[in-house]
Amino acid sequence: MRTKRSHWFDSTLPLLVGMAQVWGSIGAQRAQIDAADPGTRVPLDTLGYALLTVGPLALVARRAHPVAALWVTIVATCVYVHQGFAYGPVFAAPIFMIVNAVMAGHRRAAWAAGGSLFLFFAAYATWLLPVRQGWLHHAGVGAIILVVLTGAEMARARREQRVERERVEEEEARRQASEERLTMAQELHDVLGHSISLIHVQASTALHLIDDHPEQARTALATIKQASKDVLTEMRSVLGVLRDGAPRSPAAGLGQLDELIGRTGPAVTMETEGIPRPLPPGVERATYRIIQESLTNVTKHAPGARATVTITYGPEELYVRVADSGATAPSALTDEGGGNGIPGMRERAAALGGSLTARPHRAGFNRLVGYICPTTAVWMRDHSRVPEVLRMR
């Protein structure tokens, strides 16, 4: 997209070059016209002024027809020099046109035009001037043309590098945005799955007990009220990452496990083995969500079961075990098919270099998650070089 600055430059460049060529050539001819000098140049006439304006006028069409404008300028310049008019700013337009052709991608045309210009000057200085010029003159002309072409190629290469860097940055931004959307979807699935399942189960319990045991139904309804409030709070936290200036990562972590277990009910207990230590945010968030999904499955598929959450801190390992004792009542969600809960948990663990196993265990079900995490000492010593999760041994 062209900016106002580039539009102003495009509209004023032909005028500036035209003024420079005309007024500069008028001044240059004063030092190059001498009747006693056999190599004198001739004064400007109508043809000379017309040729001086051809190049600037061609600059107007350099965007739409870069190759045609280039050759028109080269031919006009050669005719101007052949007619014997004064050297000077007349070469400004050819320089701009050669650079423009290279920048527009017409490199062969630009190099061909530069070579043609060199051959013309070599022939003109050798056979048409009263005083023949030697190889030093030809080398100087060739060096100037080569410098112009090389400078244009370097400018083009730098622009392509900048464009490629911007393209890579845009692709990276789109990739990160896509990953964030996937993370958001997974977070919303975990938040809604846990709370809605809890609400469903408690609502079924309340409907079953409301006639014979109204007090127990009241407890179930209170749990529904609290669960719905909690899910709204968590949804605001997760969706808050979409707002400007909001945290880029949801706040779920091991610090919220007590609240999660409290919402699930008194049938869930938590045990900690080893010495707790700070963990990378990604590990904490994944651990929280896996425990949340595991407790959701217990609530949905094993009503009445007792569940135990065990977190074990090894020297460099973190293990999480969620086991239940088996259902003691028919599930209120027996009509539901299999979901993506366990595959999603496996994906979370695998993304951080860990693994998850989920299988029946005695009367209930057992889920074991294992991560390899850096120890606190290593993490604190060099935060910049230690990854969040090392590969499983």
How far lies 124's CA from each of 22, 71, 130, 133, 169, in Å? Answer: 23, 18, 10, 9, 51
Any idea which architecture 252-393 has in CATH? 2-Layer Sandwich (3.30)
pLDDT value at residue 372: 57
E-assigned strands of the chain? 268-273, 307-313, 317-324, 355-361, 364-372
pLDDT value at residue 346: 85
Numbered ranges of CATH 3.30.565.10 in the chain: 252-393
Q: Residue 279 pLDDT > 90, yes or no? A: no
pLDDT value at residue 5: 63
CA–CA separation, 172 and 178 (whole Å): 10
Q: Of 12-16, 275-279, 284-288, where does the model show the most confidence?
A: 12-16
Q: Cα 91 vs. chain centroid, distance in angstroms?
A: 43
User: Residue 102, by phi and psi: left (phi above 0), alpha (psi -120 to 50) or beta?
Assistant: alpha
Greater pLDDT, 26 or 205: 26
pTM score, whole prediction:
0.56
Q: What is residue 43's DSSP assignment? A: P
Residues 335/277, Cβ–Cβ less than 8 Å: no
Q: For the chain, what percent of residues have pLDDT higher than 70?
A: 82
For residue 355, the cross-strand partners are 370
Strand order of the β-sheet with 317-324 is: 268-273, 307-313, 317-324, 364-372, 355-361
